[in-house]
């Protein structure tokens, strides 16, 4: 499996990684795995934010869509015309920690230590997404996280987990029941989430 980036900021509950390729972060809601210093242990996170900007602290990207000669460039043409953008811009993604794996056993609570800065990050393949999402304890972590778009993230994670299975509908029904037990006192929020996980 090819690594997609490395940890550039880390805490007990989340981590941020720099992507090795500009504009090539995994999608919102993707399950990623960050390596740990402990052999056989890796940390799972769900991507809740993706951003691209200047590598310089406090810097900003500048407009590149019009040349000095007045020629207009659009979208991908800008990157083709300015290959140096890969040297001055960086794509980063942040993930909330939802569990870890230790010697093949998956736990859906916080690991003993966050992933170290500069350690590798990988996007999880469908079989790993399937294994991680067999249990739903991480739903509670997402529903009650205050600093992220929690409902949108949970819905995206459920859709991704369903796509990893042969029987998507069965998993969606199972996930809906789990959410119903967690949100039994908040019908409006539950109804909105159920609408978001429909295929």
Please, are residues 84 and 91 in contact by the beta-carbon 8 Å criterion? Answer: no
Q: State the pLDDT confidence band at 70, using cuts at 50, 70 and 90.
A: confident
With pLDDT > 70 as the criterion, what percentage of the chain qualifies?
A: 99
Give the Å distances, CA to CA, from 48 to 27, 108, 113, 165: 9, 17, 20, 22
When mean pLDDT is compared across 70-79, 106-115, 144-153, 171-180, the lowest value belongs to 70-79
Separation between Cα atoms, residue 195 and residue 199, nearest integer Å = 9
Please, are residues 167 and 173 in contact by the beta-carbon 8 Å criterion? Answer: no
151: number of Cβ within 10 Å? 17
User: What's the whole-model pTM score?
Assistant: 0.92
Please, are residues 42 and 118 in contact by the beta-carbon 8 Å criterion? Answer: no
pLDDT in tens, 39-56: 999 999 999 999 999 998
């Amino acid at each position: 499996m090819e690594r997609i980036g490395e940890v550039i900021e880390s805490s007990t509950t989340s981590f941020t990684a720099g992507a090795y390729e500009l504009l090539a972060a995994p999608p919102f809601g993707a399950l990623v795995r960050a390596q740990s210093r402990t052999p056989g242990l890796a940390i799972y996170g769900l991507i809740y934010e993706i951003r691209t900007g200047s590598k310089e602290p406090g810097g900003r990207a500048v407009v590149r869509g019009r040349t000095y000669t007045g020629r207009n460039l659009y979208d991908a043409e800008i990157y083709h015309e300015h290959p140096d953008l890969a040297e001055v811009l960086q794509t980063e993604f942040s993930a909330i920690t939802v569990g870890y794996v230790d010697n093949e056993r998956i736990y859906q609570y916080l690991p003993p230590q966050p992933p170290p800065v500069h350690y590798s990050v990988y996007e999880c393949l469908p079989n790993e997404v399937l294994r991680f999402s067999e249990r739903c304890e991480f739903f509670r972590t997402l529903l009650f996280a205050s600093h992220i778009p929690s409902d949108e993230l949970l819905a995206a994670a459920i859709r991704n987990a369903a796509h990893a299975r042969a029987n998507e509908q069965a998993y969606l029904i199972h996930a809906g029941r789990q959410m119903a037990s967690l949100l039994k006192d908040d019908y409006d929020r539950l109804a909105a989430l159920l609408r978001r996980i429909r295929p």
